[in-house]
């Protein structure tokens, strides 16, 4: 089952604009991660934020985390056509032996138009 | 360096056929994961290996699904007597224990 939901399901913006995607989850977490998936390609890890962090930056990406509301947001600034993709948040739970089982949200489809 | 590779990239199977999907993880990665991604959904966890040991298979949807990693590197996900609801993209990921997972491009399975 999916851990949470992304909002909006789809987003269309012009190149240069900012894109904001939100993610809500259901259970307590250790970390929350954001992934990007291009058509025909695998998932690419973007950024990880730990449960004791509130905000994290990586290049044009800014992630916030509110554990009291069980929600996170991903902001992409100055978007480019190459940012067109599906974006997923994922929370992790510890598996036997120490592995991290990722539970993904339903994803936001972002389209950046020229 | 080489990333995670999966083969075949596309597989069409008639209902009732058996299929085998292969994953070659990044060399040295101890952990290997299989996920199933239905159209328009996020990936869902199927199973997890640490070396050759299958430590969690709680996500496998039925006993028709079987995964193995006999030598602790390459893994095969086998689906017996495929059904239409098995149509999905099957993703493999590998990692060092507890670290970032690197995903392969996936195998798109279509059951007709």
Taking only the tens place, the pLDDT of each residue in A46-103 is 999 999 999 999 999 999 999 999 999 999 999 999 999 999 999 987 666 667 789 9
**What is the C-alpha to C-alpha distance for residues B85 and B80, in angstroms, rounded to an integer?**
13
Chain A residues in contact with B48 (beta carbon < 8 A): 95, 97, 99, 101
> CB–CB of A97 and B97 under 8 A?
yes
> CB–CB of A99 and B55 under 8 A?
yes
Up-side HSE of residue B105: CA atoms within 13 Å toward CB? 11
Residues from A contacting B (CB-CB < 8 Å) are 1-2, 35, 40-45, 48, 88, 90, 95-107
Q: Using omega within 30 degrees of 0 as the cis cutoff, is the peptide bond preceding B52 cis?
A: no
- From the number of C-beta atoms within 10 Å of its C-beta (0-12, 13-18, 19+), residue B53 rates as exposed
| Torsion sign over Cα A69, A104, B47, B69 | negative
Q: Rounded to an integer, what is the distance from CA B30 to the centroid of its chain? A: 15
**pLDDT by residue for chain B (112 residues), tens digit each?**
589 999 999 999 999 999 999 999 999 999 999 999 999 899 999 999 999 999 999 999 999 999 999 999 999 999 999 999 999 999 999 998 777 899 999 999 999 9
């Amino acid at each position: 089952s999916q851990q949470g939901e992304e909002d909006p399901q789809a987003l269309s913006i012009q190149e240069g604009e900012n894109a904001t995607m939100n993610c809500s989850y259901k259970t307590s977490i250790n970390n929350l991660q954001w992934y990007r998936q291009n058509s025909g390609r695998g998932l690419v890890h973007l950024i990880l934020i730990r449960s004791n962090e509130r905000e994290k930056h990586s290049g044009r990406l800014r992630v916030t985390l509110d554990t009291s509301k069980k929600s996170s947001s991903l902001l992409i600034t100055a978007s480019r056509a190459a940012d067109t993709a599906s974006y997923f948040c994922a929370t992790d739970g510890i598996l036997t032996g120490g592995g991290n089982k990722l539970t993904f949200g339903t994803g936001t489809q972002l389209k950046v138009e020229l | 360096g080489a990333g995670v590779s999966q083969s075949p990239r596309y597989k069409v199977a008639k209902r009732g056929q058996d299929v085998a999907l292969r994953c070659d993880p990044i060399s040295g990665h101890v952990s290997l994961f299989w996920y199933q991604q239905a159209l328009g959904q996020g990936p869902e966890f199927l199973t997890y290996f640490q070396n050759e040991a299958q430590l969690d298979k709680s996500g496998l949807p039925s006993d028709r699904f079987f995964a193995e990693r006999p030598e602790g590197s390459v893994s095969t996900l086998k689906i017996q007597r495929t059904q239409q609801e098995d149509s999905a993209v099957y993703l493999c990921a590998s990692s060092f224990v507890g670290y970032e997972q690197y995903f392969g491009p996936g195998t798109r399975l279509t059951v007709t």
